[in-house]
Amino acid sequence: MPATLAEIPTLFHKFRVAKRVLDRVSIWDGDITNLTVDAIVNAANSRLAGGGGVDGAIHRAAGRNELQAECRKYNGCAVGDAVITSGCNVNHIKKIIHTVGPQVYGSVTDEKRENLIACYRTSLDIAIENGMKSVAFCCISTGVYGYPNDDAAKTVTKFLTEFLENDDQIERIVLVTFLQVDNELYNEYFAKYAATK
């Protein structure tokens, strides 16, 4: 059975501060295709062709032909941008948002960091435009695209906390951590955020 939001505690239950933000964020260990939320965000490639990692898992769960047919209509996607498809009957999710993260070789430049933030911002903008209230993100770019986990967790935590401080539409963001290192890093950076409250 896929996990539901009701079963996943928010960070407010852990930190007991900043309810407006932390009661809308969860960190969840698992496979993003095993979760029921309004929308999941895929770390796609610029051809939207389906690939390995989380992209492959989502395409497999969706049924490759169906999802590829929907993706083909977009004729690709730029780095930092995102497109939206149906949920393809994956766990009653309503939509799949496909974003293309930056590829990092060596150290992170400001441009790559802005690209990563753009992935999260554009995905949330598209989610809101489409009436999505709960959105699950995989750790975009931190797999084969080589973005360092620590910088990504720090950057994403900063962006999402600022976003949620100003947004009234999104009810829950689930940060899906497939690797323990990402779970630890998100917990560390959200604890630092909580400590400022």
Tell the smallest beta-carbon distance from residue 169 to ligand ADP (Å): 24
C-beta separation of 150 from 182 below 8 A: no
Task: Measure the CA–CA gap between 102 and 156, rounded to whole angstroms.
Answer: 14
Which CB sits closer to ligand ADP, 25 or 139?
Answer: 139
Tell the smallest beta-carbon distance from residue 197 to ligand ADP (Å): 28
Which CB sits closer to ligand ADP, 23 or 150?
Answer: 150
Residues that bind ligand ADP (CB under 6 A): 31-33, 43, 53-55, 57, 101, 138-145, 176, 178-179, 182
Which CB sits closer to ligand ADP, 118 or 139?
Answer: 139
Q: What separation in angstroms does the CA of 89 have from each of 1, 27, 31, 39, 187?
A: 14, 24, 16, 12, 31
Tell the smallest beta-carbon distance from residue 181 to ligand ADP (Å): 9
Which CB sits closer to ligand ADP, 126 or 176?
Answer: 176
Q: What separation in angstroms does the CA of 107 have from each of 23, 104, 115, 145, 148?
A: 33, 7, 14, 12, 8
Tell the smallest beta-carbon distance from residue 19 to ligand ADP (Å): 27
Q: What is the DSSP string of 126-183?
A: HHHHTT--EEEE--TTSSTT---HHHHHHHHHHHHHHHHHH-SS--EEEEEESSHHHH
Torsion of CA 157, 160, 163, 165, to 10 degrees: -70
Which CB sits closer to ligand ADP, 151 or 167?
Answer: 151
Tell the smallest beta-carbon distance from residue 116 to ligand ADP (Å): 10
